[in-house]
Structure 1
Amino acid sequence: MKYLLLAALAALSIEGMAQQGPKNKNKRPNIILILADDLGYSDLGAYGSEIATPNLDRLASDGLRLQQFYNNSICAPTRASLLTGQYQHKAGVGYFSNNLGLPAYQGYINQQSLTLAEVLKAGGYTTITSGKWHVSGKDVSLPWQRGFDYVYPRDEASAASGAPGERKVLTDSLGYPLPEYFQTNVITKNAISFLDEASKKDKPFFLYLAYTAPHWPLIALPEDIAKYKGKYDKGWDVLRQERFEKQKQLGIVSGNAGLSVKDEDIYDWARLSYDQRQLWTKKMEVFAAMVDRLDQGVGEILAKLKAIGADENTLVIFVSDNGAPAEDLVRWHHGASRNSGPVGTTGSNESQSKNWSYLSNTPFLGFKDDMHEGGINSPFIAWFPGKIKGGAIRKGTGHIIDLAPTFYELAGTKYPATYNGTSAYALPGKSLLPVLYGQDNEVQRAKPLFWERAGNRAVREGNWKLVSAWPSYSWELYNLENDPGETKNVAREHHDIVSRLSVQYFAWAKENGVVDFATLEDKEPQSMKDFRKSKQQEKQAGGFLF
Structure 2
Amino acid sequence: MAEKAITWLKLHRSFSPDQPFLMYWAPGAAHGPHHVFPEWAKKYQGKFDQGWDKLRKEVFARQKQLGWIPADAKLTERAETMEAWDDIPDSQREFQLRLMELFAGFVEHTDAQVGKLVDYLEQTGQRENTMIIYIWGDNGSSAEGQKGSISELLAQNQIPNTIEQQLEALKGLGGLDALGGPLTDNMYHASWAWAGSTPFRYTKLVASHFGGTRNPLVISWPKGIKPDKRPRSQFYHVNDIAPTIYDLLDITPPKVVNGFAQDPIDGVSMTASFADTDAPENKPVQYFDNNGSRGIYKDGWYACTFGPLIPWVNAQPGLAEWDSAKDVWELYNLREDFSQANDLATKHPEKLAELKKLFLEQARENKVFPIGAGIWLRLHPEDVITSPYRSWVFDETTTRMPEFTAPGLGKKSNTVTIELECGKDASGVLYALGGAGGGLTCYMDDGYLVFEYNLMIVQRFIAKSKEKLTAGKHTIVVDTSLKSPRPGSPADIVLTVDGKEVARTTAKMTVPAAFTASESFDVGVDLGSTVSREYYKRRPFRFNGKIQKVRVALK
> Would you say same fold, with TM above 0.5?
yes
Work out the CA distance in 1 between the residues paired with 2:235 and 2:198.
18
The question of 1:346 aligning with 2:182 is answered: yes
Partner of 1:377: 214
Partner of 1:46: none
Partner of 2:304: 467
Partner of 2:289: 452
Partner AA of 2:335 in structure 1: E
Partner AA of 2:296 in structure 1: V
Describe the superposition over 1:354-387 as per-residue Cα deviations: whole angstroms up to 9, x where unpaired. Answer: 1110110000011101121100111111111132
* Pairwise CA distance, 1:212: 0.4
Match of residue 366, structure 1, among 187, 190, 202: 202
The question of 1:325 aligning with 2:142 is answered: yes
Between 518-527 and 498-507, the greater mean CA deviation after superposition: 518-527
* Contact 1:395-1:442 within 8 A present in 2 as well: no
The question of 1:504 aligning with 2:358 is answered: yes
Between 393-402 and 465-474, the greater mean CA deviation after superposition: 465-474
The question of 1:437 aligning with 2:291 is answered: no
> What is the alpha-carbon root mean square deviation over aligned residues?
2.3
Structure number with greater CO (CA < 8 Å, separation at least 6) is 1
Partner AA of 1:237 in structure 2: D
Partner of 1:236: 52
Work out the CA distance in 2 between the residues paired with 1:383 and 1:238.
33
Cα gap change, 1:437 to 1:511, in 2 (>3 Å): same
Map of 1:104-115 to 2, 5 A cutoff? none
* Contact 1:395-1:441 within 8 A present in 2 as well: no
- TM-score of the two chains, using structure 1 as the length reference: 0.59
Work out the CA distance in 2 between the residues paired with 1:298 and 1:490.
41
Structure 2 residue matching 1:403: 3-state secondary structure: helix
* Pairwise CA distance, 1:305: 0.7
Work out the CA distance in 2 between the residues paired with 1:386 and 1:478.
38
* Pairwise CA distance, 1:521: 4.4
Partner AA of 1:396 in structure 2: Q
Work out the CA distance in 1 between the residues paired with 2:197 and 2:204.
9
Partner AA of 1:347 in structure 2: L
Cα gap change, 1:279 to 1:413, in 2 (>3 Å): same
* Pairwise CA distance, 1:408: 1.1
* Contact 1:397-1:442 within 8 A present in 2 as well: no
* Contact 2:44-2:104 within 8 A present in 1 as well: yes
Structure 2 residue matching 1:392: 3-state secondary structure: coil
Cα gap change, 1:528 to 1:410, in 2 (>3 Å): farther
Q: Unmatched 5+ residue regions in structure 1? A: 1-186, 530-546
Structure 1 residue matching 2:22: 3-state secondary structure: strand
Between 467-476 and 225-234, the greater mean CA deviation after superposition: 467-476
Structure 1 residue matching 2:232: 3-state secondary structure: strand
Describe the superposition over 1:72-126 as per-residue Cα deviations: whole angstroms up to 9, x where unpaired. Answer: xxxxxxxxxxxxxxxxxxxxxxxxxxxxxxxxxxxxxxxxxxxxxxxxxxxxxxx
Describe the superposition over 1:325-368 as per-residue Cα deviations: whole angstroms up to 9, x where unpaired. Answer: 11123562458498645212211222122111011000001110
Task: Name the % identity.
Answer: 30
* Contact 2:290-2:374 within 8 A present in 1 as well: no
Cα gap change, 1:487 to 1:229, in 2 (>3 Å): same
Map of 1:379-394 to 2, 5 A cutoff? 379-390=216-227, 391-394=229-232
Larger radius of gyration: 2
Partner of 1:197: 11
The question of 1:423 aligning with 2:269 is answered: no
Cα gap change, 1:375 to 1:344, in 2 (>3 Å): same
Work out the CA distance in 1 between the residues paired with 2:249 and 2:299.
29
Between Structure 1 and Structure 2, the one with more helix by share is 1
Match of residue 369, structure 2, among 515, 528, 533: 515
Work out the CA distance in 2 between the residues paired with 1:522 and 1:215.
23
Moved over 4 A (4+): 337-341, 518-521
Partner of 2:420: none
Cα gap change, 1:486 to 1:527, in 2 (>3 Å): farther
Describe the superposition over 1:269-308 as per-residue Cα deviations: whole angstroms up to 9, x where unpaired. Answer: 2343433221111111100000010110011000111122
The question of 1:255 aligning with 2:71 is answered: yes
Partner of 1:29: none
Cα gap change, 1:290 to 1:256, in 2 (>3 Å): same
- Give the number of equivalent residue pairs: 342
* Contact 2:200-2:339 within 8 A present in 1 as well: yes
* Pairwise CA distance, 1:463: 2.4
* Pairwise CA distance, 1:404: 0.6
Match of residue 267, structure 1, among 63, 83, 89: 83
The question of 1:478 aligning with 2:329 is answered: no
* Contact 2:204-2:211 within 8 A present in 1 as well: yes
* Pairwise CA distance, 1:518: 5.7
Describe the superposition over 1:6-51 as per-residue Cα deviations: whole angstroms up to 9, x where unpaired. Answer: xxxxxxxxxxxxxxxxxxxxxxxxxxxxxxxxxxxxxxxxxxxxxx
